[in-house]
Amino acid sequence: MKRKFIQSVILALIFNSLFLINNCMSQWMQVGNEMGINRYINSLTSNSSYIFASTDDSGVYRSTNNGSNWTHTSLNNKATSSLIASGNNVFAGTGSAGSYVVYFSTDNGNTWNQTNLNKGVACFAILGSSIFAGTEYDGVYISTINGTSWTQTALNNRSIYSLLAIGNSLFAGTDIGVYLSNNNGTNWTQTTLNNVPVLSLSTIGNNIFAGTYYSNNGFYLSTNSGINWTAVPTFQTILSFEVSGTNLFAGNFSAGVYLSTDNGTSWLNKNQGFPSSITINKLLIANNYIFAASQGKSIWRRSYSDIIGIKNISTEIPEKYSLTQNYPNPFNPETKINYELRVTNYVKLQVYDVVGNEVATLVNEKQSPGTYQVEFDAGSLTSGVYFYRLTSGDFTDTRRMMLIK
C-alpha cells in the first residue's frame, strides 16, 4: 500500500511538472532578471552565438542561452537606442542629445570601438557589404560592414525611424513617409506614402508593410515595391514588425503583440502572459523563440512553435515520415493537420490555392523527431479547394482539403 502511495505521488509530481512546463511554453514569460525586470529595452538583434539587447540607460547585454540569462558587454554605461549584428560584428547607437556615438564591435561585444558617427541612431540595415544608419534629423549614413567610418547619403535632412533592405533596394521610414533608394543611397525618391511618420517597415514576398505613428489608418501596405500604398485600419502605432514565412507579427504601443497570417487583413491577439497595456519596442525571432523588448518591463520570450499554433503531441520516433489528412474536412474556417518526422530536419508546411499560389506558410523551422499538429485558420480565404504540402529533407507529400463557408 505504501509503495502504491509513493508511486501515485511521484506520478502526480511528474504530471504537474509537465503541465507547468507546457503552460510556460504556451505564453509569454519574462526573462532578463539580470538587467532588471523594469528595464526599458530599445532593440534586439542576434547572430549564431548571441542574442543582444540594448537598454535605455545601461548599455548592451547579451545571452548565450536564448535569453534565460544575460550578461553585460563592456559597453555597459550608455543609453543605447539601436543594434544590428552581422557575423561577429555588432553596431550600437548610443547616447543622448549632445553626446551621441555609434560603437562597433568585431568580437561579439567583448570590446567596442568608437566610430566617427556622432548622431542619434534609431535604426540600422544591411544591404550587401554596406551598413546603413538612420539618424534623428540628419538622414541616412552609410559605412562598410567591417568599417568604422561613416558618410552621409543624399537623404540628409529627415528623421529616420526605420530602414528596410529588399534585394538592391533600401527603404527609409521617415518623419514624413517612405523614401526609396535603388543605388546604395546615392539617390533617393519619395514614395506616394508621404504624409505620416513611419516607425516600422517589413516585407513578405512582394508586400511591404509600413507601421505608422498615431494614425487612424493603422499601417500601410504596398504590393508593388512601394509605388502605391493602401491604408489598412488597425492598431494606431506599430513600433516593430517581425516576419517568418507568411507570419507577420506586430509589436504595438500599449497593445502588445498581434499575429497576421494573411498580410495584415486580420489579426490574432497573442498577448497571453503579458501584463495589460504593455508596449513592445522590438520583436525578434531566433532559435525557435520569439522575443519582445518592452518599455519598462524588460524582455519577454515565447516558443515560436506555440505562438503560431504548432503542437508537438508526441516525441516517440515514428517508423517513417507521414502527412495525414486534415480534420475536419471540409472545414470552416479552422482545421488541424498532423504529420510525423523520422529524424531532426528543417520542415516546411505550406498551403496553396488551386493555381499554385502560396497562401500560407504554417511551419518553417527545424524540428526534432515526433508527431506534430498544426492549426490552420482560413478565415481570410474564399471557399474552394486548397492543397497543403510537407517538405523535410528528401520527403515531400501533398494533400487536398476543402474550405466551405
Task: Assess whether pLDDT exceeds 50 at residue 195.
Answer: yes
pLDDT at 193 over 50: yes
Q: Is 19 inside a domain boundary?
A: no
Closest CA to 140 of 168, 191, 174, 115: 174
Alpha-carbon torsion (28, 29, 32, 36), positive or negative: positive
Q: Which of 257, 282, 307 is the last residue of a domain?
A: 307
Say whether both 186 and 321 belong to one domain.
no
Same domain, 374 and 292: no
Does residue 84 sit within a domain?
A: yes
Residue 15 lies in a domain: no
3 is a domain residue? no
386: containing domain: 310-403
Domain count of the fold of the chain:
2
Q: Cα separation of 268 and 231, whole Å? A: 19
- CA-nearest of 249, 251, 237, 364 to 299 is 251
Nearest to 160 by CA among 128, 120, 191, 213: 120
Kindly report, residue by residue over 217-261, the tens digit of the pLDDT: 789 999 999 999 999 988 889 999 999 988 999 999 999 999 998
Nearest to 389 by CA among 401, 399, 374: 399
Q: Quick one: 336 and 221 in the same domain?
A: no
Q: Are residues 262 and 356 in the same domain?
A: no
β-pair partners for 206: none
Distance CA 314, CA 335 (A): 19
Instruction: Mark whether 281 and 334 lie in a shared domain.
Output: no
pLDDT digits (tens, 9 = 90+) for 75-95: 998 999 999 999 999 999 998
Whether residue 356 sits in one domain with residue 281: no
- Cis ω before 330 (30° cut-off from 0): yes
pLDDT at res. 88: 95
Q: Does a structural domain hold residue 22?
A: no
| 277 and 294 both lie in a single domain | yes
**Residue 294, all three cell numbers:** 518592452
Of 352, 362, 379, 268, which is closest to residue 311 (Cα–Cα)?
A: 362
Q: Which residue has the cell 541612431?
A: 121
**CATH number of the domain within which 348 lies:** 2.60.40.2550
> What's the whole-model pTM score?
0.84
Judge whether 45 and 92 are in contact, CB under 8 Å: no
Q: Could you tell me if 248 and 257 are in contact, meaning their C-beta atoms sit under 8 angstroms apart?
A: no
Same domain, 300 and 319: no
> Does 261 share its domain with 374?
no
Shared-domain flag, residues 195 and 326: no
Evaluate whether residue 162 is within a structural domain: yes
- Which of 271, 286, 307 is the endpoint of a domain? 307
- 145, exposed or middle or buried, with CB in 10 Å at 0-12, 13-18, 19+? middle
The secondary structure of the chain, three-state, reads CHHHHHHHHHHHHHHHHHHHHHHHHCCCEEECHHHCCCCCEEEEEECCCCEEEEECCCCEEEECCCCCCCEECCCCCCCEEEEEEECCEEEEEECCCCCCEEEEECCCCCCCEECCCCCCEEEEEEECCEEEEEECCCCEEEEECCCCCCEECCCCCCCEEEEEEECCEEEEEECCEEEEECCCCCCCEECCCCCCCEEEEEEECCEEEEEECCCCCEEEEECCCCCCCEEECCCCCEEEEEEECCEEEEEECCCEEEEECCCCCCCEECCCCCCCCCCEEEEEEECCEEEEEECCCCEEEEEHHHHCCEEEEECCCCCCCEECCCECCCECCEEEEEEEECCCEEEEEEEECCCCCEEEEEEEEEECCEEEEEEEECCCCCCEEEEEEEEECCEEEEEEEEECC
User: Does 302 map to a domain?
Assistant: yes
Residue type at 248? L
Residue 7 has pLDDT above 60, yes or no: no
Q: What is the pLDDT of residues 211-228, one digit of tens each?
A: 998 776 789 999 999 999
- Check whether 389 has a pLDDT greater than 70: yes
- pLDDT of amino acid 25: 52
Task: Round to whole Å and give the CA distance between 144 and 129.
Answer: 6
Q: Which of 274, 307, 340 is the last residue of a domain?
A: 307
Query: Are both 292 and 314 inside the same structural domain?
Result: no
Q: Tens digit of pLDDT for each residue in 304-351? A: 988 988 988 999 999 999 999 999 999 999 999 999 999 999 999 999
Q: For position 272, which CATH number holds? A: 2.130.10.10
Spell out the residues 6+ positions from residue 16 whose beta carbon is closer than 8 angstroms to its own: none
Asked whether residue 384 is assigned to any structural domain, the reply reads yes
Same domain, 259 and 356: no
pLDDT score recorded for residue 23: 44
Give the pLDDT confidence of 30-69 residue by residue, as tens digits: 998 899 999 999 999 999 999 999 999 999 999 999 999 9
CA nearest neighbour of 251 among 284, 275, 287, 224: 284
HSE-up (13 A, CA, CB side) for residue 14:
6
